[in-house]
C-alpha cells in the first residue's frame, strides 16, 4: 500500500458507498485509477468485512471500551467467552495478551454488570473502562461510526430496515442488487440510503485486522498533562502524520487519556510518529502495542435488523456517558 491507497481506505471506511467521481476528486487521480486501486485492495481482502448497521445514537446505545492484559493461556477460548454476551461488538488482540473490548450497551445501568462479565470472561483482573467521546471534532474522518447525535431522529421505516439488512453483509453492495433483493426501485433505494446517512441513523463499520502483507496497525495509549487542552492536543498530535496516524479518541470519564491507531508497512515510520508524540509538550507518556487480530461479533443492535420494523422509537435526550 502507498499513501494514496491509505487515503482511499480512510475515505471508504467513512462511507464505502462514496461514488468514484468523489473519490477521484478527493485523491486527485482519475476515476479509472481509483477503480484499479479499489479492485487491488478488494482482492487483498481489505474491504471484505465492511458492514452497515443502525446508528448507536438512533438506538440510544452506550459504547464502552474496556482494555487490559488477559492472563488466559488460550485466547481463542477467551474470544469465544466474550462473544457469549450480546453486548460484545468486537475484540482486538494486541501484543502480550493485551485485549481491547468494544461493548455496546442498551443503557448506562448495564455498564457495571458488563465490566464484571469482561473481567471474568477475559481473565482480565486489572482493566480500564472508557466511555468514548464522538462529538469533540478531533477526528476529520469518523470511520468508526459516531456521527454527532441529534436531539431526535426520524423513525426508520420497514423499507429502511430491509435496506440495512441487505447491507449488513456487504456495505458496498450495488444499488441494483439491493433493489432486486427487496423489490424496490433503484431510485427509491438510493433516496433512502442517502436520507439515513444524512440523518445519522445509518453507520458503517470495519475491522482493523489488516490482511497478510498489508500495513501493520499499532494501538497507542497517550496520557496528557493535567493542564492540557485534550481536544487541542489531540488535533495537534494528529497533524504529525495525517496519513499514517489514523485517529485519536478521548473519553468522558478519563481526563487526559487518548487512544489511537497508527498504520504503516514500515516500522521506521511508526517509530518516527511515536518519537514525535513523545516530544509534544503536553504528553506525559505514550504506550504502543502492535495489533495481531480482531474478532467482530453480532451484538444486540446487529441482531435487531431482521425484526426492527417493530422497533418503537421516541424523541430523546442526548445519551448518557457521552459528550
pLDDT in tens, 7-32: 888 788 778 888 889 999 989 999 99
Residue 309 pLDDT level (bands cut at 50, 70, 90): very low
Run of H or E residues at 125: none
Check pLDDT > 80 for residue 323.
Answer: no
Structural domain for 252, as ranges: 62-142+208-296
Residue 209 pLDDT level (bands cut at 50, 70, 90): low
Residue 17 maps to a domain: yes
Number of domains in the chain: 2
pLDDT given at position 320: 42
**In this structure, what CATH number is given to the domain that contains residue 23?**
1.10.10.10
pTM: 0.83
Residue 313 pLDDT level (bands cut at 50, 70, 90): very low
Q: Kindly state whether residues 37 and 138 are assigned to the same domain.
A: no
E strands, the chain, are 51-54, 62-69, 88-94, 98-105, 127-130, 202-205, 216-224, 245-251, 254-264, 283-296
Residue 156 maps to a domain: no
**How far apart (Å, rounded) are the C-alpha atoms in residues 64 and 103?**
5
pLDDT given at position 91: 95
**In this structure, what CATH number is given to the domain that contains residue 75?**
3.30.70.3460
Q: How confident is the prediction for the chain on average, in pLDDT?
A: 86
pLDDT digits (tens, 9 = 90+) for 71-113: 999 999 999 999 999 999 999 999 999 999 999 999 999 999 9
Residue 50 maps to a domain: no
Amino acid at each position: 500500500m502507498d499513501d494514496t491507497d491509505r487515503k482511499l481506505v480512510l475515505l471508504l471506511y467513512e462511507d464505502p458507498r462514496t461514488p468514484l467521481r468523489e473519490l477521484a476528486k478527493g485523491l486527485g487521480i482519475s476515476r479509472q485509477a481509483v477503480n484499479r486501486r479499489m479492485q487491488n485492495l478488494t482482492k487483498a481482502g481489505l474491504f471484505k468485512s465492511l458492514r452497515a448497521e443502525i446508528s448507536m445514537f438512533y438506538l440510544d446505545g452506550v459504547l464502552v471500551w474496556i482494555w487490559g492484559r488477559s492472563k488466559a493461556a488460550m485466547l481463542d477460548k477467551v474470544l469465544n467467552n466474550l462473544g457469549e454476551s450480546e453486548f460484545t461488538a468486537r475484540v482486538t488482540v494486541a501484543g502480550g495478551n493485551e485485549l481491547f473490548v468494544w461493548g455496546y450497551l442498551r443503557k448506562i445501568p448495564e455498564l457495571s454488570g458488563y465490566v464484571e462479565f469482561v473481567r471474568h470472561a477475559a481473565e482480565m483482573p486489572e482493566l480500564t473502562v472508557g466511555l468514548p467521546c464522538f462529538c469533540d471534532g478531533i477526528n476529520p474522518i469518523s470511520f468508526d461510526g459516531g456521527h454527532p447525535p441529534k436531539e431526535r431522529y426520524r423513525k426508520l421505516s420497514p423499507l429502511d430496515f430491509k435496506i440495512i439488512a441487505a447491507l449488513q453483509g456487504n456495505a458496498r453492495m450495488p444499488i441494483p442488487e439491493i433493489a432486486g433483493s427487496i423489490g424496490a426501485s433503484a431510485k427509491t433505494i438510493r433516496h433512502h440510503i442517502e436520507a439515513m446517512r444524512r440523518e445519522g441513523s445509518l453507520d458503517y463499520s470495519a475491522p482493523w485486522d489488516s490482511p497478510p502483507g498489508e500495513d501493520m496497525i499499532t494501538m497507542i495509549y497517550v496520557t496528557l498533562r493535567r493542564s492540557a487542552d485534550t481536544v487541542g492536543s489531540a488535533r495537534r498530535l494528529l497533524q504529525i502524520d495525517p496519513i499514517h496516524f489514523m485517529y485519536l479518541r478521548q473519553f468522558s470519564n478519563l481526563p487526559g487519556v487518548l487512544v489511537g491507531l497508527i498504520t504503516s508497512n514500515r516500522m521506521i515510520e511508526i517509530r518516527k510518529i511515536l518519537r514525535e508524540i513523545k516530544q509534544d509538550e503536553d504528553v506525559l507518556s505514550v504506550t504502543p502495542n502492535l495489533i495481531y487480530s480482531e474478532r467482530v461479533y453480532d451484538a444486540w443492535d446487529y441482531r435487531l435488523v431482521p425484526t426492527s420494523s417493530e422497533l418503537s422509537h421516541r424523541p430523546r435526550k442526548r445519551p448518557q456517558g457521552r459528550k
